[in-house]
Amino acid sequence: MTTARSVAVFCGASLGRDPAWAEAARALGTGLAARGHTLVYGGGKVGLMGEVANAAAAAGGRVVGVIPEFLRRAEHAHTGIAVLEVTQSMHTRKQRMFDLADVFVSFAGGLGTLDETFEILTWRQLGMHEKPIVVCDIAGSGQALMGAIEAAIEMGFAKAELREMVTIVRSVSDLLDWLG
């Protein structure tokens, strides 16, 4: 039985070089909608964010965007989704996405995606929450993040248990199966 979840997806405001990521983002949006999960994301229409949100909305899924006021224009705030929350700052955006989500998915993206993922991960490391964090390593998209985690453990700046705080998946279908 599928339990509907509220899934925050952190992903790029760009498409990236490999078309595999846009394709995977669309499959993720469609798959979340088909399983009745709510997509919580950064609220933009551009890049991988736009791909996942458009696919989820087109498949009849519930999509909640959270965007800071100053990025409404730059990231083309989405107007075709169920809810668009506008926050005062990046910090309140991250807090709001945290509050709304039951589970976090770190998808392909750049520094913003890494930042959002690391914040959620460091909060988990500090015992501030126990919400699951899934890292997608699709066409190498998770390598930078996993490399940083491994380096921190290797250098003695993080405990080995940090590894157990992230679930790594290598395809959208594995991610959807994991979500249930």
Length of the chain: 180
The answer to whether 111 contacts ligand AMP (rule: CB under 6 A) is yes
Which residue stretches of the chain are H helix?
A: 19-34, 47-58, 90-100, 111-125, 143-154, 172-179
The answer to whether 42 contacts ligand AMP (rule: CB under 6 A) is yes
Provide the 3-class DSSP secondary structure of residue 64.
Answer: strand
Whole-number minimum distance, CB 93 to ligand AMP, in Å? Answer: 7
Residue of closest CB approach to ligand AMP = 112
The binder of ligand AMP chosen from 29, 50, 61, 109 (CB under 6 A): 109
The answer to whether 16 contacts ligand AMP (rule: CB under 6 A) is no
What is the rounded distance in angstroms from the CA atom of residue 38 to the CA atom of residue 100? 10
The binder of ligand AMP chosen from 7, 12, 29, 54 (CB under 6 A): 12
Q: In the chain, what is the straight-line distance between the N-terminal and C-terminal CA atoms, in Å?
A: 7
Q: Which residues bind ligand AMP (CB under 6 A)?
A: 12-14, 42, 44, 71, 75, 90, 94, 109-113, 115-116
